[in-house]
Each structure stands twice: as C-alpha cells, then as structure tokens.
Structure 1
Amino acid sequence: MHDTDIARADPAELIACPQCDALYRARMPEHGARAVCARCHTVLIAPKRRAGMTIIMLAAAVLVLVLGAVWFPFLKISRQGFVNEATLLDAAMSFTGGPLLVLSLAVTALIVLVPLARAVLTIYVLAPVVFDRPPPPGALRLFALSEALRPWSMAEIFALGCAVALVKVADLAQLSFGPAFWMFAALVFLTVIQDRWMCRWSVWHALEQGQAARRERAPA
C-alpha cells in the first residue's frame, strides 16, 4: 500500500502485520484462504468455517483439563517400598519457604491460572457471537485481556521442564505418570490447536460489528 493510500484510508479498514508493521487494507478472504503479509509472509487473516464453535469447544476442553490436572495425581515416585504421589499444585508449590514462595506462586499462575482465565474469557466472549447474539458487555476489553495473557500461558514450558527433571531422576527411583500428567499433556496440545484455529482479526471484526449494531439499536 502506498503512503498516499494510507493517509486517505479509514484506520478501521487497515490491518498491520504484527511482525513487520506493514499496513494493508483489510479484506476478508474466502473461507479456507489466507491473507498473508507480502513482506514477511506472516498470516494476517485466516477465516475457517465453523471456527467459532470449534474454538469454544476447544476452550471448554481446556477448562475441563485444567481442573482435572489440578485435582488428580500428576506423578507417583516409588523407591525401596516408599511411595509418594504429587499433584500438579504440589509440583508447582514445591518451594514454599521464604522468597521462593513468590516463585511458586508465579509458576502456579503461569501454568494453571492463566490458561484457566484464557479459556473462560474465550467462552464468555465468543459464545454469544457464535449463537448470533450481541457481544457481552466488555467483550472487546476482555478479548484484549485474553490476548495480553497469551504470552504468559506457559504450560508447555512447564511440561518441558518436567520432562528434563524426570530424565534426571529416572535412575534414582521408579516413576509412573498419573492421570493429571496426561491431562496436562492434552492441555498443552489443545492450547496450541486453539491458537492456530483462531483468526484474531475475524474475532475483532465480529465484536466491533456487534458493538456497532448494539449502539444503533440503543434508544437515543
């Protein structure tokens, strides 16, 4: 897009590449097609059929898996007749003394609370839109919050750390995985799938249209 076109264009019609900041006029491609940045080839818009319902179902599954991963045993360690089971919270809160308590709380927030919050926000924001209802109050702000939390959802980092730790202690004791371990592994996988399915520009566009329609119907 030329500089003169940018100056004349309505800002609401523009989309900026999140990687290289190139500006384009936003145009909704056909379902299954993608709008890609010509400079760095980042996908800008990628609508999919029934994507909203798929994302809601994935978010609901993430919600169930987070709660299950917290409740059920995560790992069982046995050595010389002694057996100990630990839940995911036990592993995250293993340092509870002194300044390390802050680290434990941060780990718990990043691997449990942030994915849980993002799943709840996604369902709250998208469910009315998918069922052809007006966006809920504060939908734009809450979706922005969910996007701001995305880099801080570090369940996969915790999973990699656990894998490294288990390799180191495998020769010292007998290890067995509990139901929470497999739930957590599924949680990491579904979170990645959900992020790949979501076309953020389409969500913003739908929410803004819904908010505009609500303002038009509101009495003067």
Structure 2
Amino acid sequence: MSELKLVVCHECDLICHEVTLDRGEAACCPRCRAKLCQHGSATLDQTLALACTTAILFFIMNTFPLMSLHLQQNTRETSLFGAALAMWDREMHLLCLLVVLTTIVAPALQIGIEIYILGHIKWGKDLKTTSWPLVVLRKLRPWSMVEVFMLGLLVSLVKLKDLADIIVGPAFWSCAALILVSAIMGSMLTPRNVWTWSHQRRSDATL
C-alpha cells in the first residue's frame, strides 16, 4: 500500500490509480474523460529559463512604446500604461482600472509567482511552501488577459492605418511574444510537473 499512488480527478473527484506514461501520452478520467495528467519533456531548468524570459518580455512591454502615430508632421508615442492613463483622462475610470488589472497587475503577479515556485523548488529548503502559491497561480491565470488587449490593439491598428502612419514599437512585439511564451509556460508549469520536480529534489537531497 505504501507504493500505491492515487490521482484525484479535478472535474468529478474520482480517485484513480496513477499509471506510468510514456512521452506524449496522457491519462484521462474513466468516468468524465477529463485529462488527469500528461507526460511531457519539460525540465525544471527549462521552465525556469522560460519564466525569466516572460519577465524580460513583460518589462519591455511596459517600458517601451507600443506604437507611434505620425500625422501631419506630428508624431505621438503611446505605451501600455500611457494608454490606460488616456482612458482615465477621458473619464473612463472603470475601463482604465480593468486594463491596468488585467494587463499589468495580474500578469506581473503571475510571472512573479511562477518564478517564486520554480526558484523555490530549485534552491529552497521547505518545498511544502510551493502548494499555496500554486493554488493562487491557478486562480490568477484567468485574470491575465494580455491576449485580449493584443486583439483590441490589432483592431485599432486596422482602423487607424488609413488615417495616420503607424510605426509598431518594441512593446508590441514583446506583447506578441509574451502571449506565446505564456501559453507554453501554462503547459509546462502544471501541478503534476511541480510535484514531480519537488519529489526529484527531495530524492536528490536524501542521497
């Protein structure tokens, strides 16, 4: 019984026996067919490097201009925070707060928690403290809506292309790259992988 490993389905709470998976295989719940786990090739170092990459891209996205508008020998640059402030100046206070929350605050907290979890597994001593940040991360991910902001920005670019010359800034490309890298991070930083890396770290520490 000490070697028996069980997995609880996150959809229907069915207790299942854990099975050994080969690379690329996935295990599904026999009752509701929800995916229980999937064997991937992600390592702790790779995921940590990817998390640092998201932090760099997020810094560029919030520091450099998103785009520049050139109209009648006048050029105006706008950044992500500058766009939110423009909404506030136009008395769209609620929309401004939503943009700041979903494109700045929530992604910043998400990236910080991801780096904390991975760094704590790699260098920390008490690995049990990674459980509550992982729960917070799963609750926080739906509030990170950089891709929704990117979609709205693309719509704005299409509408403004006939009115002014538009120069895409570095923050625009960083935003696009951040969406891609964050999607990969979501598939690598899973509860199962965190458990596997923590178990491997405990095993190495006891040797």
TM-score normalised over the length of structure 1: 0.78
Q: Which structure 2 segments of 5+ residues have no match?
A: 203-207
Aligned to 1:5: none
Query: What is the CA RMSD across the aligned residues, in angstroms?
Result: 2.8
- The answer to whether the aligner puts 1:138 opposite 2:129 as a matched pair is yes
Q: Identity of aligned pairs, percent?
A: 26
Q: 1:135 to 1:120 in 2, by over 3 A?
A: farther
* Alignment partners' CA distance in 2, 1:199 and 1:28: 17
Q: Which structure 1 segments of 5+ residues have no match?
A: 1-11, 212-220
Aligned to 1:16: 9
Q: 2:27 aligns with which of 29, 32, 35?
A: 35
- The answer to whether the aligner puts 1:177 opposite 2:158 as a matched pair is no
Quote how far apart the aligned CAs of 1:43 are. 2.6
Quote how far apart the aligned CAs of 1:153 are. 0.7
1:6-45 Cα distance to aligned partner (Å, 9 max, x none): xxxxxx9331143xx2624251533523212345544321
- 1:29, 1:35 within 8 Å by CA — same for their partners in 2? no
* Alignment partners' CA distance in 2, 1:98 and 1:125: 40
Aligned to 1:84: 76
| Residue-pair matches, total | 198
Quote how far apart the aligned CAs of 1:55 are. 1.9
- The answer to whether the aligner puts 1:74 opposite 2:66 as a matched pair is yes
Q: 1:15 to 1:175 in 2, by over 3 A?
A: same
Pairs within 5 Å for 1:1-220: 13-18=6-11, 21=12, 23-27=14-18, 29-30=20-21, 32=23, 33-39=25-31, 41-97=33-89, 100-130=92-122, 133-135=124-126, 138-204=129-195
1:143-181 Cα distance to aligned partner (Å, 9 max, x none): 111111011110001101111111111111111100111
* Alignment partners' CA distance in 2, 1:39 and 1:208: 28
* Alignment partners' CA distance in 2, 1:77 and 1:175: 5
* Alignment partners' CA distance in 2, 1:27 and 1:142: 24
Q: 1:26 to 1:128 in 2, by over 3 A?
A: farther
* Alignment partners' CA distance in 2, 1:112 and 1:57: 21
Quote how far apart the aligned CAs of 1:97 are. 3.9
Quote how far apart the aligned CAs of 1:69 are. 0.8
* Alignment partners' CA distance in 2, 1:26 and 1:49: 22
* Alignment partners' CA distance in 1, 2:172 and 2:99: 16
SS of alignment partner, residue 66 of structure 2? strand
1:65-85 Cα distance to aligned partner (Å, 9 max, x none): 111111111100011111101
- 1:125, 1:135 within 8 Å by CA — same for their partners in 2? no
TM-score normalised over the length of structure 2: 0.82
* Alignment partners' CA distance in 2, 1:13 and 1:209: 18
Q: 1:50 to 1:205 in 2, by over 3 A?
A: closer
